[in-house]
Structure 1
């Protein structure tokens, strides 16, 4: 049989996930992986430097699939930051669930926990950009350095929350992972309630008013 002349990233992702699910481990070498799937080894390197890079791409592919699905939803475009993030979570975890066996294998490496972290490193970068694009409201203090700290804190907290949710989902044994759905709803609501700036703004505005009035009286 003639070898395949072209190979896409998606082809390689499919081949790799199938191999891992069938054998419970990564392929021994790129050469053997290419031979088993009937393509030249050099074609693999047109897309990835090694299997670790491919593993990272798998999780960003899940991420982009979720965003692409959301982009087709007209209602999503009009949502505020909280509901956009909630929609993303539900969509993203539907995709994870459809690929649960692979995700569990990739992230449940108790003997090599750093491998799981490396597999998600590209996802962290992509997800962080997404959080920034939501423009989650923070308290305006008119201090650039403080505003940068606030934004960085939101991004890092959002990433930590996603990791915690993934771990909860991995351990969830409820039918249809309904407990994960509840966890998502309650945890996101709590997070946005914590950073809700309106009450604090009211207090600060009132304080400014009192200060101004006191100065005028003096």
Structure 2
């Protein structure tokens, strides 16, 4: 009686199933941290990790695309984490922004060694910031959505806030906080948590046209940290 030969997965098939966008990112981050430099070519990187070059290109067109993908992951994981909270939807915009920043910086802290390397790799800050172009777009979109929802509840147009200005302010704020976090030497980065709270409160106070006590409070805090 003839028997049908079962299809046994080849090594290539097993590798293809095992490889994913996240796994490729993890390989790259591990390489950078272990070698303290970026891989020079996709070919050599793939050969070292026993994957075919075309498999790499199934996920990214270059290392530059992969680097941007890492920041996209940081953002997407942050959004997924805050959306799991049952209380999040009931928060006001100020609390939503605080939640976003606190969660995002928890993500950065979990990957601090890589983040510090990637943002200090070149002497030119502009070269280091190229990888953040996708993150900038996502953060501005997040901030614009917050203001758009709030504006929809205001019947008087004069009381509505500018999505463009607020979203740009949110991005500048994030850049400031990232620089602060990178230089923060406090235990568990407690000073960064304080900076997040004070800066978010300040921005919302300015946009809400409330008294500027918090602007002074933020200035005092930053001056104290600079002198420490």
TM-score, normalized by length of structure 1? 0.83
CA distance in 1, matches of 2:99, 2:139: 14
When the two chains are superposed, the root-mean-square deviation of aligned CA atoms in Å is 2.3
Residue 42 (structure 2) pairs with residue 30 (structure 1)? yes
1:36 positional shift: 1.2
List gaps (5 residues or longer) in structure 1: 200-218
- Partner of 1:111 in structure 2? 123
Deviation, structure 1 residue 164: 0.3
SS at match of 2:26: helix
- Distance across 2 between alignment mates of 1:112 and 1:152: 28
What is the correspondence of 1:87-166 to structure 2 with a 5 Å cutoff? 87-135=99-147, 137=150, 142=157, 150-166=162-178
Q: Tell me, in whole angstroms, the C-alpha distance in 2 between the residues paired with 1:140 and 1:29.
A: 56
**Which whole-Å deviations, capped at 9, do the CAs of 1:70-90 have from their partners, x for residues lacking one?**
111001111011100101111
Once the two structures are superposed, residues 161-203 of structure 1 have per-residue CA deviations (whole angstroms, 9 ceiling, x without a partner) of 000000000000000100000000001000000000589xxxx
TM-score in terms of structure 2 length: 0.80
**Match for residue 5 of structure 1?**
16
2:195 aligns with: 183
Q: Which runs of 4+ in 1 moved over 3 A?
A: 136-143
Find the counterpart in structure 1 of residue 89 from structure 2. 77
Identify if the C-alpha distance between structure 1 residues 109 and 140 changes in structure 2 by more than 3 Å, giving closer, same or farther: farther
Aligned CA distance change for structure 1 residues 142 and 73 (closer, same or farther; 3 Å): closer
- Contact in 1 for aligned 2:60/2:66 (Cα 8 Å): yes
Give the number of equivalent residue pairs.
Answer: 196
CA distance in 1, matches of 2:121, 2:168: 23
- Deviation of 1:60 after TM superposition, in Å, equals 1.3
| CA–CA separation in structure 2 for the residues paired with 1:74 and 1:115 | 39
Alignment-derived partner of residue 213 in structure 1 = none
Cα deviation, 1:1-26, whole Å, max 9, x if unaligned, reads 94522421101100000000001111
Q: Classify the secondary structure of the residue corresponding to 1:5.
A: helix
> Of 176, 193, 196, which aligns to 2:205?
193
Q: SS in structure 1 opposite 2:16?
A: coil
Q: CA deviation at 1:142?
A: 4.2
Judged with a 3 Å threshold, the aligned counterparts in structure 2 of structure 1 residues 186 and 156 are, in CA distance, closer, same or farther, namely same
